[in-house]
Structure 1
Amino acid sequence: MTTATTPGRRAGVLTWVLRLVGAVLLAVMGWLHLDLWLDGYRTIDVIGPAFVLNAIAGFGLALLLLVAPRRWLWLAAALGALTALGTLTALLLSTTVGLFGFVESSAAPLWWETFWVELAAVVVLAVLAVDARRRPA
């Protein structure tokens, strides 16, 4: 016996896959910033508190993405995408021109991991936000 998959069912599965991948990426982003904060970034003015806030936001938005009702999913995904984009922008600014008097290097611990996780989070969550907004609950 074969079971035919309907387009609506496939879309539902895709939505949950994007939710899960997005939540994992946000949680990893939060963990990376918490790890770096614990490793010494906490002593840097402005940057240290920003890393703690990013860790809290990453974990909180990951949870929100998993529990948001379908009709508010687009908003949760958009908030996650914007947070990841802001964090990615801060990383690139701190590496190129400096940020709040702090200049980072791409040779710093976890720089490349952070870059790829944040970039992937922006893409996945933007796709999810657009898809969830386009298809009503």
Structure 2
Amino acid sequence: MTAATAPARSRPALTWALRAAGAVLLAAMGWLHLDLWADGYRTIDVIGPAFLLNGIAGFGLAVLLLAAPRRLLPWAAALGALVAAGTLAALLLSTTVGLFGFVETTAAPLWWETFWIEAGAVVVLGVLAVVSRRRPA
């Protein structure tokens, strides 16, 4: 094996590792939102339904990421990254200036876990979206 073929052969392994990590992060994001929704966030106007929707979307996007054919993988990864980035932005907004009349605090249950999982998902899925693009031969 030459040095020129080594990166080409390692790309599928890297792609699958990023797929798996991204799917785990999206599912964790979904689980956190469903758990918090069940714990009482469901009673908050706008925020409650958003948590339920985010929980369902997290699991759905995790499945999509694992099931997407190679040609659609960059799009699935980009979609997951955008949803995670939007969720992270909503978390930060709700903690700083409030969101839909709701103000969160970093002392809230699972705040830091949510922050790191969503930030990690943005990074992992962003890298996957770039790495999984087809390169011309």
Map of 1:101 onto structure 2? 101
Map of 1:22 onto structure 2? 22
Q: Name the count of aligned residue pairs.
A: 134
Structure 2 Cα separation of the partners of residues 19 and 27 of structure 1: 12
Which sections of structure 2, spanning at least 5 residues, go unmatched?
Answer: none
Worse overlay, 6-15 or 23-32: 6-15
Map of 2:77 onto structure 1? 77
- TM-score, normalised on structure 1? 0.94
Which digits, 9 at most, give the CA deviation of each residue in 1:50-80, with x for residues without a partner?
Answer: 0000001100000000000000000000000
Structure 1 residue 134: deviation in Å? 4.9
Map of 1:53 onto structure 2? 53
Which sections of structure 1, spanning at least 5 residues, go unmatched?
Answer: none
- TM-score, normalised on structure 2? 0.94
Structure 1 Cα separation of the partners of residues 62 and 41 of structure 2: 23
Structure 1 residue 131: deviation in Å? 1.2
Structure 1 residue 6: deviation in Å? 3.2
What amino acid is aligned across from residue 37 of structure 2 in structure 1?
W
What amino acid is aligned across from residue 115 of structure 2 in structure 1?
F
Structure 2 Cα separation of the partners of residues 120 and 9 of structure 1: 26
Structure 2 Cα separation of the partners of residues 76 and 25 of structure 1: 14
Matched residues, percent identical? 78
Structure 1 residue 132: deviation in Å? 1.3
When the two chains are superposed, the root-mean-square deviation of aligned CA atoms in Å is 1.6
Structure 2 Cα separation of the partners of residues 35 and 87 of structure 1: 15
The SS at the match of 1:133 is coil
What amino acid is aligned across from residue 11 of structure 1 in structure 2?
R
Runs of 4+, deviation exceeding 4 Å = none
Which digits, 9 at most, give the CA deviation of each residue in 1:64-99, with x for residues without a partner?
Answer: 000000000000000000000000000000000000
Residue pairs, 1:32-71, within 5 angstroms:
32-71=32-71
What amino acid is aligned across from residue 54 of structure 1 in structure 2?
N
Map of 1:118 onto structure 2? 118
